[in-house]
Amino acid sequence: MFTMKRRNFIKITSLGAAGAAALSMTGFSGPLGANDRVNLAVIGVRSRGKAHTKATVYNENLRVSHVCDVDSEILREHLDYSTEELGYTPESETDFRKILENKDVDAITIATPEHWHAPMAIMGMQAGKHVYLEKPCSHNPRENELLINAQKKYGKVCQMGNQQRSSVSSNIAIKDIREGIIGNVYMGKAWYSNTRDTIGTGKVIPVPDHLDWDLWQGPAPREDYRDNVHPYNWHWFRNWGTGELHNNGTHEIDICRWALGVDYPNRAVSAGGRLHFTDDDWEFYDTQMVSFEFDQGKTITWEGRSCNGFNHHERSRGCTIHGTKGTILLDRASYILYDMEGNVLKHVKESDPGSSGSTSDTTGWDTLTVSHMKNFTGAIVNQEKLTAPIQDASKSTMLCHHGNIAQYVKRSLDVDPENGHILNDKEAMSYWNRTYEQGWEPRL
């Protein structure tokens, strides 16, 4: 961090003092009516789904009616977790399509492997369900467009799970930025660091009895079951995952985009590779530096190191927002304002940041998720403004697609800032869509 000086003027704002004004910025205005309870089905319950389930405890108008997972062992464990956290046991299913057929279910949350995110969300909206969709919202850029069109066509609430948009301290920071606290804002730098181990070389083995491998694959072309894919390492295979840039970079890139007030870039470039471990099945990049250029010369950079956990500013993830009058350090736990000499002028702490700031935690429990889920519920019942509607949130996912595609083709991409399409590069645009398993193509 910047060197602290004895004469620094430090202003620490408690969220108790800032609470009322800041909560209004998140879109949550208070308790809903007692008769406005939303029945929620949580789909995909190994890790992040636990945070979805627990968040409902703090929202009296949201009830987990169902939980779902294609792995019956994971599902059984989650039922025990739900009983302990909720005080009751939801109904369970291994096939999400049965949940979509259930007229008593009002909304679904999706915390499945990423190749399922957009197809399941589209199917959910087609079935009349509101959707809370974990990031990234898509496996490929075309799915972004389909999601937006589906939301418009079916008129359902669709919120992406970039929960820092509902952070009180982050909302205060954005308000201050809009009011010129650091002058003209021109750059955002985001980072993520972890110390992941090798995933080795997978061996084809029989599918475990407790796993529906065919439904797990769903829209993805079929592959044999290997011993290093399920339940987590699918992130690093292109058939199912989208790499660390999407898995974690989406969050802080989204905050930078929000702070700078930008949408799609004009140019994207990426450098890096699978550099730490070079002889395993990991198909993405453990080291990646991505840069985006926008109108008026504004830039966003993201540095990801999956296998070297050296931190920036004593944080494993976060971002800095740079302007002509100062810098803001922003993460899920706080907002710190620095002047041009590195003196701390303001420090706003989140009331209970939980564990979501730790890159080793895959559940990501925090009060941000509670606020984000309350906002989702408020939008369903009271038509409150969403903090991360799919029309806007998907733009942050699109930036991550640009970064990975630039890495695939190993050159800079020119981008149409109006719609995110890649210009004058047939090879790059060949990654715009994917091949689906026959019969599983998402359709509106």
- The rounded percent of the chain whose pLDDT value lies above 70 is 89
Is the per-residue pLDDT at 12 higher than 60? no
Is the separation of the CB atoms in 360 and 221 below 8 Å?
no
The mean pLDDT of 347-365, rounded to a whole number, is 68
How far apart are alpha carbons 271 and 288 in whole angstroms? 6
- The rounded percent of the chain whose pLDDT value lies above 90 is 88
- In this prediction, residue 27 has a pLDDT band, given cuts at 50, 70 and 90, of very low
Residues 84 and 180 in one domain: no
CA distances for 234 relative to 195, 199, 217, 281, 283, angstroms? 17, 10, 11, 10, 10
- In this prediction, residue 371 has a pLDDT band, given cuts at 50, 70 and 90, of very high
What confidence score (pLDDT) does residue 364 get?
Answer: 72
Domain boundary among 140, 164, 188: 164
Residue 16 maps to a domain: no
State the CATH number of the domain containing residue 247: 3.30.360.10
State the CATH number of the domain containing residue 54: 3.40.50.720
Residues 182 and 154 in one domain: no
Residues 264 and 155 in one domain: no
Is the per-residue pLDDT at 122 higher than 90? yes
Residues 220 and 289 in one domain: yes
The mean pLDDT of 150-178, rounded to a whole number, is 97
Residues 40 and 183 in one domain: no
- In this prediction, residue 202 has a pLDDT band, given cuts at 50, 70 and 90, of very high
Residue 190 maps to a domain: yes
- In this prediction, residue 352 has a pLDDT band, given cuts at 50, 70 and 90, of low
Is the per-residue pLDDT at 201 higher than 80? yes
What confidence score (pLDDT) does residue 366 get?
Answer: 82
What confidence score (pLDDT) does residue 84 get?
Answer: 96
Among the listed residues 307, 325, 326, the one whose alpha carbon sits nearest the alpha carbon of residue 316? 307
How far apart are alpha carbons 336 and 320 in whole angstroms? 9
Residue type, 321: I
What confidence score (pLDDT) does residue 292 get?
Answer: 99
Residue 346 maps to a domain: yes
Joined tokens for residue 292: 């985006």
Is the separation of the CB atoms in 409 and 429 below 8 Å?
no
Residue 440 maps to a domain: no
Among the listed residues 131, 112, 144, the one whose alpha carbon sits nearest the alpha carbon of residue 40? 131
Is the per-residue pLDDT at 23 higher than 60? no
- In this prediction, residue 25 has a pLDDT band, given cuts at 50, 70 and 90, of very low
What confidence score (pLDDT) does residue 82 get?
Answer: 97
366 or 329: which leads in pLDDT: 329
Domain boundary among 149, 164, 179: 164
Asked which of 13-22, 208-217, 326-335, 432-441 is least confident by mean pLDDT, the reply is: 13-22
Residue 150 maps to a domain: yes
Residue 72 maps to a domain: yes
Domain boundary among 139, 164, 189: 164
Is the per-residue pLDDT at 26 higher than 80? no
Domain count, the chain: 2
Residues 191 and 264 in one domain: yes
Residues 202 and 149 in one domain: no
Is the per-residue pLDDT at 297 higher than 60? yes
Give residue-wise pLDDT tens across range 407-427.
999 999 999 999 999 999 999
What confidence score (pLDDT) does residue 365 get?
Answer: 74
Is the per-residue pLDDT at 46 higher than 80? yes
Average model confidence (pLDDT) across the chain: 91
Residue 374 maps to a domain: no
Residues 119 and 194 in one domain: no
From edge to edge, which strands make up the β-sheet containing 158-160?
91-93, 62-68, 38-43, 107-110, 130-133, 158-160
Q: Is 336 exposed, middle or buried (0-12, 13-18, 19+ CB in 10 A)?
A: buried
- Containing structural domain, residue 402: 167-359+389-429
- In this prediction, residue 359 has a pLDDT band, given cuts at 50, 70 and 90, of low
DSSP string, 364-396: ---HHHHHHHHHHHHHHHH-PPPSSBHHHHHHH
Residues 178 and 227 in one domain: yes
What confidence score (pLDDT) does residue 5 get?
Answer: 31
Residues 171 and 160 in one domain: no
Is the per-residue pLDDT at 215 higher than 60? yes
Which residues have CB under 8 Å from 233's CB, separation 6+? 199, 281
Residues 208 and 346 in one domain: yes
The mean pLDDT of 222-241, rounded to a whole number, is 98
The mean pLDDT of 228-234, rounded to a whole number, is 98
Residue 366 maps to a domain: no
The single residue listed with the structure tokens 């694959």 is 217
The mean pLDDT of 44-64, rounded to a whole number, is 95
Residues 106 and 209 in one domain: no
